[in-house]
Amino acid sequence: MLRLGRREFGADERVIMAIVNRTPDSFYDQGATFRDEPALARVERAVADGAAIIDIGGVKAGPGDEVSAEEEARRTVGFVAEVRRRHPDVVISVDTWRHEVGEAVCEAGADLLNDAWGGVDPRLAEVAARYGAGLVCTHAGGAEPRTRPHRIAYDDVVADILRVTLGLAERAVELGVRRDGIMIDPGHDFGKNTRHSLEATRRLGELAETGWPVLVSLSNKDFVGETLDRPVKERVLGTLATTAVSAWLGAQVYRVHEVAETRQVLDMVSSIAGHRPPAVARRGLA
C-alpha cells in the first residue's frame, strides 16, 4: 500500500504524476507554465485527465541560469498553497533537492518531496520525516544537481541503482519517514547514458521485486530521443512504449507530461494484466 496525503493506492494501481514546471526554461514546455494562470489551468486539466499526483518543480533539471533556494521557493510555495486550496484531495509533490525548499512547501501543504538528485542534501529526508510527507529516493549516479553525465560507467548499473535507492529508503525509514510513503526511482538519464537507462528499464522488475513502490520519470527524456533519434517534441510515442513496458514490469507511479495518453496506456496494461475490467464489454454479447 502506498499512502500519500489523503490518498491510498493499492499495489496493482498504476498512478500518474503530472509535471507542472514553474520554470521559464524547462526543456519540454519552454516555460509554458511559468506564470500562475497557465500553471493552474495545467493542474485542472491534469486532474481531469486522471492524474492523482501533481509534481511541481521550480528549477529545471539541466544546466542553466543559477536559481537560488529563495527563488525556487518563490516559484513554488505560493503555488503549492493555491493548488492545495483548490484541490484538497490531490497529492501535491514538489521536485526539489533542497531541505529549505522542502520545509517551505510542506508548510504550504505539499504531501511528497521528489528528490530527483539522490539525497545530495541529506536534510531533505529529515524534513519529510518531520512533516509526515512522502519521499522519492532516486538514483542519480552521484551527480551534482543540474549537471549532465560525462563518460560515466558502472560495472552493473542496476546493482548500483538498487544499492543507492534501497540505502536511501532505509535511511529515510530510520529518520522517521513513513514506510508507506516512500518510493524508489531508477533515475532515467540522471547520471546515466542512454544504454544505462535502457538497461534500467529492461531490468525494472528487479526494482519492483524489492517491495518498494517504483516511480519512473520517462517523459520525453534524452534516452528516448537518442534511441529513436527524435527531437524533444517527437518523443511521445517512444515515451508511451517505454511506459507500457515499465507498467508490465511493475512500476507503479509515472511522472509525465502527457496525462491523458499515459492514462490510456496504463489502463490497457492493467486490463491485460487482469487488474482492471474493460470499460465496456459488448463484443460478442449482442
- What are the catalytic residues? 221, 255
| β-strand pairing of 91-95 with 53-57 | parallel
With cell 485542472, the residue in question is 44
Closest CA to 98 of 71, 79, 78, 80: 71
